[in-house]
Amino acid sequence: MSAAPDSGVTESDPAAAIASVSRWYHCIDIPPAGSTPGLFDLRPVVDRLPWPDVRGRRCLDVGTADGFLAFELERRGAAQVMAVDITTHERWDWEPHVAERGPEYLNAVFGPDVRGGFHTAHRLLGSTVQFAPLSVYDLDPATVGTFDVVVCGSLLLHLREPLRALAAIRAVCDGQLLCTNQIDLERSIGPRRAPLVRIDGTSGATQWWIPNAAGHVQMIRAAGFTIERRSPLYSIPFGPAHPARARAPRSVLRGLAERVLTGNPGVPHAAVLARPGNGH
């Protein structure tokens, strides 16, 4: 496991420690300093996920980013939590036309410490979550063991090979998988809702496969999981660090649709609770 790097800012000044991080991905409550200024805020919607009982269980958070879901597993009583994610910008599944410029841009804007937010929040919260510098593709029971609960939050859309990633998750999952993903909202409503996936891979947003809600379920099934429960559609709100949404008519209408169909504006998502099985 990797040790948290020393940021040079002590826990006696948590506000300064938070401010020392160049970019926060998650909004995380850190008393008494308040919360981190993240790009996305899971706090209003976290209880809408179909959580299993994690008390006393060994849990894994895949693609942890700043660690919101890993710390949530800890807060809910998990006996042990491991969080894994890549630690360099070069290891993203970059689209070919931005493969060189993407890492250079992120290194220039955010610096090379990709997990600075996680390690800072970890220290300030007094967390016991273990961190391992691994890609989801590298998950192997021989290396990390197996887990009673695996959480994979908003990761599959950023992967060139999501089914390969789910196969790696299945290899280390002995119990249940809670998997969330961005969904194509327009194609998730209507009477039939056939499983569909929209491919991107050229927008520069490192978004590859965006399924509708039924497509997300089918991806989980295709990877050899049996579905136990599903969440209603929900949207992850934008945090204070996220650029303001344009006020163009199309953006306004999209925000209205998100509010009506998912309960609030943001990035439309769906979540599935599943377990390794026969794929039904």
Does some domain include residue 137? yes
* SS3 of residue 167 by DSSP: helix
Averaged over 186-202, what is the pLDDT? 87
**Tens digits of residue pLDDT in 55-103:** 999 999 999 999 999 999 999 999 999 999 999 888 889 888 876 776 6
The answer to whether position 141 is within a domain reads yes
Q: Is 116 helix (H, G, I), strand (E, B) or coil?
A: helix
Q: Residue holding tokens 């194509």? A: 184
Centroid of chain to Cα 54: 18
The CATH number for 118's domain is 3.40.50.150
3-state SS, residue 244:
coil
pTM: 0.91
pLDDT(3) > 50: no
3-state secondary structure of 59: strand
Domain span holding position 223: 14-276
Burial of residue 24, with CB atoms counted within 10 A of its CB: 0-12 exposed, 13-18 middle, 19 or more buried: buried
**Domain assignment of residue 8, yes or no:** no
- Rg of the chain over all Cα atoms, to the nearest angstrom: 18
In a domain, 3, yes or no: no
pLDDT tens column, 104-134: 766 665 666 678 999 999 999 999 999 999 9
Answer yes or no: is 9 within a domain: no
Whether residue 30 lies inside any domain: the answer is: yes
Q: How many independent structural domains does the chain possess?
A: 1
Question: Is the residue at 1 inside a domain?
Answer: no
E-only strand ranges, the chain = 24-26, 29-30, 34-35, 38-40, 58-62, 80-84, 130-132, 147-153, 173-182, 197-199, 209-211, 225-230, 234-236, 267-276
Please give the angle made by the CA atoms of 126, 155 and 91, to the nearest 5 degrees. Answer: 85
Residue 116 counted as domain residue: yes
Whole-angstrom distance, CA of residue 271 vs CA of residue 231: 5
pLDDT of amino acid 106:
67
